[in-house]
Structure 1
Amino acid sequence: MTWTTLISADELAEAIDHCTVIDARHDLLDPAVGPAAYAAGHIPGASFLHQDLDLAGPKTGSNGRHPLPDRETLAAKLRAAGLDAGRQLVAYDGQGGMFAVRVWWLARWLGHRKVAVLDGGIEAWTRAGFPLSTEPAPQRQGSFAAGASLVAEVDAATVLGNLAGGDRLVVDARAPERYRGEVEPLDPVAGHIPGAVNRPFQLNLRPDGRFKPAPVLRQEFESLLAGRPPTSLVHHCGSGVTACHNLLAMELAGLPGGALYPGSWSEWCADPARPVARGATP
């Protein structure tokens, strides 16, 4: 079996000996939360990758809070976690996939198609009665090598150039109050990219933290698209992490091809020359 979007707890338990599993738990306000949670108990055999240190590159002050990592550096970390070219990669977190989706997108960015997010995260795993471990991941050096990207991405210049014509629809995955510019707990400027619409990533989830069924997501995103092709969408969030949640949801819904703006709002607002909008969607 191959999983390319989601994998259930039962499916992972059945296939776990043939998977490389990544624990991606994190807290944007406290970077020590993820390692502590991993140490307290994780899915057996899982390795931990940190959102700030492993799944992002160096920050310059103008390239956002989670700039893309160096491709070969990330590939080496996935090899160290035991990943081979044909091996199933699974990522999980404890927040409805909001951080695991970053692993999903980055693996595809490196050309690895066999990657999925554990639907419902570690809560789904424990709720199904499967055990946790405090043992470190076994040492297994994989043979994975980065290949051609399977995803689309755009830079700030492309987003800026789109403002005049609006040929592409920019979708903001942040909470509505952040989108409207009423609060901004993480970045120095509040607001959103002019012309962007708001699709909070939480709308992709059921109350138990699992993704909504594919037909439901398809209906919701087709309403958002309003006749546009999925490839016309540019997804962003605060720093290029939770925007991947909308990308995965669209992939699950059979609407692939949207692009990620990796720098997202944290990069956009770092340049005072870039315009800022506030309030609800026009």
Structure 2
Amino acid sequence: MKKLLLSIVCLGIIIGTFAQKTDKKLQRQVHELLQGFNGQVGVYVKNLKNGKVVAINEDSIFPTASMVKVPILTGVMDKVNKGELDLHQNLTYRDSLLYAGVDILGSFKDTEKIELGKVVMLMLVMSDNTASLWLQSLAGTGKRINAIMDSLGFQSTRVNSRTPGREANRAQYGWGQTTPREMATLMEKIVKGEIINKERSAQMLRLLGRNYWDEYAISQIPSDVFVASKGGAVDESRSEVLFVNGHGARYVFCINTKNIKDQSWDAKSNEAWELTRKLSKLLWDHFSN
């Protein structure tokens, strides 16, 4: 029965995909923008007002880097909805949870208390990796999160790190993997209240609307417009997914890159981040006019 239901869900996604209309003018503009990029890139854009899309390498698999935190959030909120976790419950931080880096949570002293909701905030707002790996475990591990992604019809979006059986995928893609279409569609489902239920989706959307890392795609969108987003970056890959709503515009988009030549970390000059800004400006100018 479960296999039959999953087949029906996947068939619905496929049928919906073929039914979507391409925004031909915007497709040409985005295609031209991507020319000459030193690396592999995929883009998926959907106008939520009329359903038209732009899709380039939309089903190719890319590393998520920190975008994997959206599936992790989904796993956490599913536990919250079932009463197995409470966003206001106190957790005890232990030194064994530390993921070396510059995270805020990693600076805590052993045995300090922190609310679950604040750990979630750190994962999404600051992209705190210590918080994220703790939450991945609390959500039931990558195996359970992957099962949830599978139940939603996402065949490529997976947690790889600390997930038995996915060692080869981790070696290739890192912490997680996805496609531009699937990550953008996950964001769209959150917007539409289709992840878990409307209440939990609304909580997720508010949490995703507080991103500290706003120098890339978000920087090209007026500050009085609502944006929910999550980015991800490692040396060879920079990616970002956004929902944008305001000034007559309502759309989602995801840009993924991999095998990039410019692996610098200068926010102003890195080629992939500069491409992300240019794409975001192109889309905003297109949808808000």
Greater share of strand: 2
TM-score (norm 1): 0.27
Q: If each structure's helix is expressed as a fraction of its own residues, which one has the higher value?
A: 2
Normalised to the residue count of structure 2, the TM-score between the two structures is 0.26
